[in-house]
Amino acid sequence: MRFNPNFLDEIRARLPVSQVVGRKVALKKAGREYRGLSPFKTEKSPSFFVNDQKGFYHCFASGEHGDIFTFLMKTEGLEFPEAVERLAQEAGVPMPKQPERNVADEDQRDRLYRLLEASAAFFEESLRSGLGAEARRYIEKRGLQHETVRAFRLGFAPNSRTALTAHLKGKGFSLADMASAGMLIAGSDIPEPYDRFRNRVMFPILDLKGRVIAFGGRALEKDVPAKYLNSPETPLFHKGHTLFNAARARSAAHDKNRVIVVEGYMDVVALAEGGFAESVAPLGTALTEDQVKLLWRFAPEPTLCFDGDSAGRKAADRAVEVALPWLKPGHSLGFAFLPDGLDPDDLIRQQGAAAMSDALSKARPLVDVLWDRELRAAPSDTPEQRAALEARLFALVGTIQDATVRSHYQRELRDRLYQLGRNRFPRPMAGLPTGRQGGGIAQASYARPVAAPDWKARDRARLNGPERRFTKKNNAPELVNASPELAGHMQSVLPREALIMKTLLNHPWLIDEHSEAIAVIEFSSQPLTALRDEILAVHARQNSLDRASLGTQLSKSGVAKVVDLVARTITHISDRFAEPDASATDVEAAWNHILALHQRQDALGRALKAAEEAWYRDCTEEAETHLLDIKRQIAREASMDQMDTEIDQPADDTPIVKRAG
């Protein structure tokens, strides 16, 4: 649904960012802003800032930035319409009218929601009654606390064919609605409709808004066709789109940046009681692609828990196939295998929550599970068998839709295949002579396998040319011409990066107009990245900085040494705009120019990486031509930098050095 910008602005005007954010982050006033610890990344010093006047928050630790709607989406996994509805209700702003819908369908959905809520209340009451004694004993045997039973709204379906039907009739619901909601088994071949759930411990299944949409029931009798029974597909419930406990787990998952996926309802309940509130379960089916996408709304790398037996391995293999096509940068699955014969419920009851935490800490990435699966599928001792292994792996990886992730998987698996081949060279056979025997002809020695040729190194040499040793005259142009102290402290600093930071230190007024552009600059040097982040943090605490006040603030931080080293870098004649006495007009013009050059250089670097991957992957003439073209572009830029440097040098090649401060 699209929302009118004026409607969204009205919500923003009524709800300060600090009010919405303050429910999850302890904020302290800092000038005209608020600051606190990042809700997106673990940290000890606050780098998260909220500005009510500007209507946004910014996290320097993670780079997250947004308004009140974005904050709810990021911290609670809400979709944009959900966040708007939640905040509109809080702000007292009426939601816009929905487009006309089928009134009959809407009325039926409303009746089904009410019917299922009435059913949940009936099951809860039945558990507390005399009829629920056996169910209560089962729950107590599982060690569940009363608070947990209430939180999950566990109930009991009496051992009667008509108990629920009679109750719902008394509430005014029709048999047709009971059947539509999945609570009644009826049909033309069934003379008398009857309750679907009988003599079972009941688990309500909720949608993301916390409304009851279905049930799962655990049989109390041993000799029944189905130990667990779920509601059928209904207008409200689709098994492949829903997860048990999703509504309750969502907030905890975002707080911990983790969501745990287990097999059954009781596993989820036991985990929640053991301190793992971020646990969910599929609904009697293997994990579906829609459920994987839903999990990624909770956390970028959900952890799937499986038994360590063969059945658990097969279930993990199926999950790999389901998830592979939908992998995207930063989003994958982890796989935790529990001790044989133990599910999460058993593990926590027998060994405690610490054992579960230990199992989760050993979760393996998806690529490992994929690799192990194909290694188990067939032998890989000979070149032909390894070729078959490669074909299987790359057929699976070929289903990944995201080109970047697919490329990284292909590179990772090629490396593993290469290592697999190297590790399987022949070893000495028993009794086989090695070396010379009595002055005769030298025998073949198997004592040390010959290393496989490094084809990639050969190819790189063909594309890159021979190695060069850099001297003062042919020094790599991408390395900063820096003071010895800086060169020792920060290796391989790009000259533009050092110049950018020096300009900011001497002209902090640039931050007022360019803060967002500065926040996303990619630095190749970690110390410069840390310095940039600290400068922005100081600016967020105290707007309109001058050079002296910025220097004072930075001298008290952990980047003071980097500040000193950057300030003492060599400045060429053409870079005088970075010096404190440069005019604002010259600084502004040069700043825009150098930032554009840096962005161009960064883009070329990314293009080079992509071209190299394409060439290594495809080895086609077109890929090689494209790679060489990008290398020529980079060489041209580097030579221009070098020319600028040489033009600025005096005739005796002695660098001009201006020490700041």
- At 588-622, the pLDDT tens digits run 888 888 888 887 877 787 788 888 777 766 667 77
- pTM summary value: 0.58
At residue 324, the pLDDT reads: 96
Amino acid 25 reads V
Torsion over CA: 553, 559, 565, 570 (sign): negative
SS3 of 308, please? Answer: coil
CATH superfamily of 5-91: Zinc finger, CHC2-typedomain (3.90.580.10)
528: which residues sit within 8 A by CB, 6+ positions away?
490, 493, 497, 498, 501, 562, 566
At residue 469, the pLDDT reads: 36
Helix ranges (DSSP H) in 1-41: 5-14, 17-21
pLDDT along the chain (661 residues), means of 10: 80 90 90 88 88 88 88 85 90 79 76 96 97 95 93 96 96 95 89 94 94 96 88 93 93 88 93 95 88 91 89 90 94 92 86 93 95 93 93 95 93 91 59 40 36 44 42 38 44 72 87 79 83 83 76 82 76 72 83 81 80 72 79 71 45 38 36
* CATH of the domain spanning 243-377: 3.40.1360.10
At residue 616, the pLDDT reads: 65
Q: Which class does domain 111-237 fall in? A: alpha beta
Q: How far apart are CA 212 and CA 122, in angstroms?
A: 13
Q: Which residue has the tokens 């040729």?
A: 453
At residue 543, the pLDDT reads: 63
* Closest-CA residue to 349 (of 140, 134, 154): 140
At residue 425, the pLDDT reads: 56
* Overall size of the chain counted in residues: 661
Pick the CATH number of 484-647 from 1.10.860, 2.40.160, 1.20.1300, 1.10.10: 1.10.860
| Buried-state track 532-547, b at ≥16 Cβ within 10 A, e below 16 | bbbbbbbbbbeeebee
